[in-house]
Structure 1
Amino acid sequence: MFFKEVNEVDLGETSIANIFIDIFMPMADGLYVKVYLLGYKNACDTGCSPKFNNSSIAKNLNVPLSDVISAWKFWEGKNIIKMHKNDGYDDFDYSIEFLDLKKLYMENIPVNTKSIKSNSDSIVHIAENDSIRKMFNSINQIVGRYLDQGEKLSILDIMNKYNMSSDMIVCAYEHVKDKTGSSKPVKYIEGIIRNWYDSNVYTPQDVKDSFAVRSERYMLYKTIFNELGFPRQPSKSEKQLIDEWFDKFNMDIELILEACSKSKNISNPSVSYINGIIKSWSNKNIKNLEDLKIDEQSQRPKENVTKNISPKNTSGDAYKKTKFHNFNETFTQYTPEELDEIIEKSQKEKFR
């Protein structure tokens, strides 16, 4: 039960349409709601200073001016306000026109969706779909409460915006619950769905496969950085380079680790240095350690030939030529009898 104290002192009041509270407020985070209410109060208060603007809201709420502009862009996306750029060079200088929410409701203008009207009857009609009804029931169990009308409208809006099935919405809620241990607002769920959409993940099986790949790739990052001796996580640019080694160059992890080992004598090793080695190997179509071994052997053919033909004597001493190598070995042209005759004749000449 809720009731209001009656007070005769008039400090001013701002009347806000229930449609904002019932449907639009649950779509946004607290800051966006504060910006809307503070701006709306100023628009309704004829006695308010004309100098009150977006900078005034930023100072009042102690937030950056860019956050205030982001809030207005969010509400403009919901078709409940219009932003009018003022003359000048200030990119943050806007006038805000608040649209009539009652008129919006009566005319059944779609709220950031092509097929869903922003009223209770539309939600009930959509919920008659069996898969939608099961989706809402599953989400109720995950978050531990019943979804309100605004949350349901936002969920259906997400499904239409990103063309996601009801199974993917439930999968997103389950993922958030497992990851954080608590339920999160619909805007948080939309962030998860948007990331999946940008990553071409469209089914629960795609989600499982994506997590498996990320887990495996994380271990590869860790292995490579351990080999390089880096006691930190890789940066985004370093991850992109490492991903190319696997996805673009199709390198084996053993070959990549071999490249990392070549940086041990470098004063300032880096992923960029290893990337140069990987690219040079890729240009030679080297994909694994066996390819690298063959390439290294092909670089030393002359050296190996020189070693194989170097003459050595049986004692291990270096082979040296003497004056006897200048003689022609013609004695092999004579028979034993002819040699005896030559030797005998030589002896007779010697002692004559």
Structure 2
Amino acid sequence: MSTIRVSSNSVPDTTLIPNIFIDNYMPSANGTYVKVYLYLLRCMNSFADIEITISNIADRLDETEKDIIRALSYWEKENLVTLTKNSKNDIDSITINNIYSTTHTNTVLSIEAEPAVVPTVSVEEYTMAESAATKTPSIPHRTFEKPTYSEAQIKQLTEADEVKWLLNIIEIYLERLIKPMDLQLILYLYESLDFSAELIMYLYEYCVSKNKKNPSYIEAVALSWAEEGIDTVEKAEAATTQYNNNYNAINKAFGLNRAPGQIEKQLISKWMNKFGFTIDIIVEACNRTILQTQKPDFKYADKILENWNKKGVKELSNIAPLDAEHQKLSAARAGQVKAAPQQKPANNRFNAFPQRTYTEEDYSSMEQRLLHKQ
């Protein structure tokens, strides 16, 4: 992601939160969205310039990068921030608008992005699972509003035997009692996203197996599943299984015995999500990388796959014609650079006389004459 510089003309050591935000915006906003907005205010009021990235914000707030981008888009829709993006659709700059102005004139804060190191947004493990589970295009992005349930609503929803049973099971998964934030999330999944009790249990089981118990992470996984149309345990199992199979196949091709790093995940995500390559094409690129470099070089494999994407490769069978064409061009180039036949030099004053050839005896005779002269 792009590195984002947050700067301010003033350097107060406190962060002021406008009352209008607390009164009018905070009650209806997702908790993660509130955290992101408050953190931007904090960055604006820092003593020094702060260079941040989407990844840094996600780590700081213990959220996923997709959460951060979703939050920024939400606040842009509410006109509290203005986002600009570059040609690669990466966030280029963020401006916090004047919350008291109906026209939302810009404040001093200007967040300018430096050139991006990686042109794709980092995607967490769960995103890999859902996008890799199917070869069909992704379902268009949907917005899911998260309500805040009142005590009366909570009492009414938790009276159902299925919900009581679900809460007990989740407590076992989390190895602790249900907290208010957990309860709000579970009811949101059950009542607003229409997740079945079985799917919610599998969601928690999957996240806990990844050692992820944070409600915001679990919510992000659920939203991704909802966006991708994963509404049954069978679909979720297929997605997570495909995710594991894909990573295992890449690790096997590269001879790795570890989980991919952050940059490696970004590249794998680009290959699967942006290029739409199937795992057999990716494995072929990994195999060729090992043959050429003798090491698991993700960047080298990325160059191979970028070239195939430009050439319109959609299936593994599309690669063979490209190889044949490449060999043909290579042979043609080799023929062009082959040395031209040596031509007889033209006669001039330096080579107008007959050229003499010397034998080994001639050289021996000349050597003897030189020795006798000394």
Normalization by structure 2: what TM-score? Answer: 0.38
Q: Which structure's residues are more often helix, by fraction?
A: 1
Higher relative contact order (CA 8 A, sep 6+): 2
